[in-house]
Amino acid sequence: MNKPIIRTLIAIILSALSGLLLFLAFPPYDLWPFMWVAFIPMIVAQYRIIPRKFSSLAPAITVGGWLGGYLYPIFAGSGIYMEWLPIIIFGINILTEGGTRPFHERTGYRWLALQQTAGWVGIELVRSFIPIAGTWGFLAYTQYRQLWLIQPVSVFTIFGLSALIMFVNYALGLQVLRWLDSRWQPMDAAPAIDPGLVKRYLIAAAASLGVWIVFSLILMRIPTGPEVKVAAIQPEASSLLTYMQGDEDGYLQLLERMRVQSQDAGEQEAQLIVWPEGAMLFDPQVEDKLDFKGLAEETGAHLVAGYIVSTDPDKHIFRNEATVINPQGEFIGVYGKDHPVTFGGETSPTRGTYPVYDTPFGKLATIICYDLDFTDTTRKMSRQGAQIIAVPSNDWGAIADKHYTHVVFRAVENRVAMVKADGSFDSAIINPFGQIMALATSPDGVEATLVSDVQIGTGSPTIAARLGDWVGWIALIAMIAFIVLDSKTKKQVQNAGLPSE
Q: Tell me: the pLDDT tens digits for 187-239?
A: 777 888 999 999 999 999 999 999 999 999 999 999 899 999 999 999 999 99
What is the C-alpha separation between 427 and 430, in angstroms, rounded? 10
Q: Residue 81: which pLDDT band, with cuts at 50, 70 and 90? A: low
Q: In the prediction, which pLDDT does 177 show?
A: 96
Q: What is the pLDDT of residues 233-245, one digit of tens each?
A: 999 999 999 998 9
- The pairing of strands 426-430 and 436-441 is antiparallel
Average pLDDT value for residue range 462-488: 96
Residue 80 has pLDDT above 70, yes or no: no
Q: Strand ranges (DSSP E) for 289-432?
A: 302-312, 317-325, 331-336, 346-347, 356-359, 362-366, 388-393, 417-422, 426-430
DSSP at 366:
E
What is the C-alpha separation between 333 and 356, in angstroms, rounded? 9
Q: Residue 501: which pLDDT band, with cuts at 50, 70 and 90? A: low
Average pLDDT value for residue range 450-476: 97
**Domain ranges (residues) in the chain:** 4-222+469-495, 227-457
User: CB neighbours (10 Å) of residue 322?
Assistant: 28
Q: Which residues contact 358 (CB under 8 A, 6 or more apart)?
A: 364
Question: What CATH number should be reported for the domain whose range is 227-457?
Answer: 3.60.110.10
Residue 173 has pLDDT above 70, yes or no: yes
Q: In the prediction, which pLDDT does 343 show?
A: 66
For the CA atoms of 161, 166, 170, 171, what is the dihedral angle to 10 degrees?
0
Q: In the prediction, which pLDDT does 472 show?
A: 98
Q: In the prediction, which pLDDT does 1 show?
A: 56
Average pLDDT score, the chain: 93
Q: Residue 429: which pLDDT band, with cuts at 50, 70 and 90? A: very high
Average pLDDT value for residue range 112-121: 97
Residue 88 has pLDDT above 90, yes or no: no
